[in-house]
Chains A and B, each alone.
Chain A
């Protein structure tokens, strides 16, 4: 019982593969823990010792400066040894499969594997094969759980609550793991979720995931508390999904006029990186109602909380086996 910590046991998961596998209590636990991590990150001395001697490997098959550095900082602030591995698509073409790469890394005995991969289900597949904890940093168009958690934390800190807020997720929902994770999480915590996009960018059956569907910003933004913009990949706006950038911005971009449709105190979010002038105008992105910088700060805090919760749970597990319950 010596290493019992008050944060442990309350998060009964070995991996974080998606929001879908979390209960509302799990989510609240992580958000509470994240609030504490925000405080740590705002101190002059930002380092904790929780993860001293532990190894965290960031395995990124898709490049992502933002998410990767956020995970790296989170691990380092907890005192872990962090190694970054960016596996370009070229080395995958050399014949080594995802599982081969994972088994190689597994043999190096890491404690945590943070993985980003272009294929849905990749993190789950890895979790079945390796001995350490796996954190999903984005798998195809499936889930990006830490992004949804950091978005929720940002909202909760800005609005004081999540339940009964109306959140509009706007843009390329079809290809977005951020949208999927957010839809599940916000629903779990009792928010009202809308999606606003042209039908070509909406997945089939999306209504059944518990969202209201709008294809016009003018209608969808009415009475909204939070406007969450999504990034639209450039290759998808030249005729394959939408005809052109200017047409997209005209109908689905967020500018001042559109934001006025939402509630007067509505706030704006974007997971980044932004396409200024495509989905969001600079005026809004840099304006007083933008939470975009807060999201980045909350990202580090949420990832610290997730890593800590998973490792704690891990460490306490064996001693817990002989009856020590909380």
Chain B
């Protein structure tokens, strides 16, 4: 391990795609002491030691390691679904080198000691970087603010109530104001619980046909619009965690054009799937927010291209048979996604929907910038978190291949084009695909 770390490695003959440098060229990358020492086509002026291990990438791509901005993990409290260690293994296989972990655990991460617990456990058991977020309200109760300043000092990269929406507008206003003093990011999932009550899928003809109660688009847009007005009032930093509708993209776009400090994320599921995938009550497609129509999906793709949507997240949410093997209306929301985010996203590139640089930016430099993380770039001096990817290799996902403790993938049996061959964190190979 230490040998691996100290040794200099030279990756040659690679297609380097690094949005942080606006780079898409054939070249080489030199890794020394866990950092990127040199990167690009022009290696003439770089001098390096003779004892360097050279790896011929044979024309495959090198991307910065992915930064996943929304990962639910079962530790502490639901280790049977996922531990930090098992999520880390899944992440490595999916090319994710940094995970932003959500605070919806048991106990909730709403205290300095718990932020430290996550960081310590990650140090001891995880091979990828794990960055905790902390709850915005105590115990996710939606009423009292947590110690935003102290937890930020302890390492919390953002504040969020996870799957929950804060209904109290005054609390949201104060949280935005207070967090603004610490330059802390507030990340919010918006779903008006009173409007979506009882709903289990997107409202519309499909839901009516299946006899399922629907969640209207307005349940997402109404609290989002409220939040954006509060951002205008407070000048806080606000990130819409996962939007899913064309109308949400419109209001985000409006807020951005006013110069507000607003960003938006989208789960890979909402770029790759739509409500028709639910078919005959397939609970692995029961998600939060719900899968929407194909029109919404296409609007999301467009919003990603034009920069209205800033980042793509896996929204990794491990659920086991206890919570998924039920009739659709009684099953839990959520899908695992760490291992399939990149391959599912590459569909958008292969279809010609999204340029490769923009696609990779939304999973690397954009989230790194948003959360203030060191990774997500191949610039010299940055940590050597990188992935070698064959963007053309066809493969089929089988449930048994998943490293996550939970197997609730909506992509089971799906055909992909493009997979991770090797994952490096701080210069060390933590995953290599066996072909």
User: Chain A residues in contact with chain B, CB under 8 A?
Assistant: 97-99, 117, 119-122, 124-125, 139-143, 177, 180, 203-206, 208-209
Contact = CB atoms under 8 A, between A and B. Distances in A.
Contacts, number: 66
29 contacts: A97-B325, A97-B326, A98-B326, A98-B327, A99-B325, A99-B326, A119-B327, A119-B328, A119-B329, A119-B330, A120-B211, A120-B281, A120-B327, A121-B280, A121-B327, A121-B328, A124-B280, A125-B327, A140-B211, A142-B212, A143-B211, A180-B209, A203-B208, A204-B203, A204-B207, A204-B214, A205-B208, A209-B205, A209-B209
Interface residues of B, number: 20
B204 interface: yes
Nearest to B206: A205
B1 interface: no
A142 B207 CA distance: 10
A180 B205 CA distance: 12
A120 B204 contact: no
Contacts of A208: 205
Nearest to A140: B211
B46 interface: no
Interface in B315-363: 322, 325-330
Give the most central of A121, A124, A125: most B CB within 10 Å. A121
Contacts of B209: 180, 209
B279 to A, nearest CB: 10
Contacts of A140: 211-212, 327, 329
Contact of B211 (A98, A99, A142, A205): A142
A117 B210 CA distance: 14
Nearest to A173: B208
Nearest to B327: A119
Given A140-B329, A203-B207, 9 more contacts: A98-B327, A120-B211, A121-B211, A125-B281, A139-B211, A143-B211, A203-B208, A204-B204, A204-B208
Contacts of A177: 211
Contact of A120 (B203, B205, B322, B328): B328
A206 B327 contact: no
6 closest residue pairs by CB, A with B: A142-B211, A205-B205, A119-B327, A121-B281, A203-B208, A141-B211
B424 to A, nearest CB: 43
A281 B208 CA distance: 30
B208 A121 contact: no
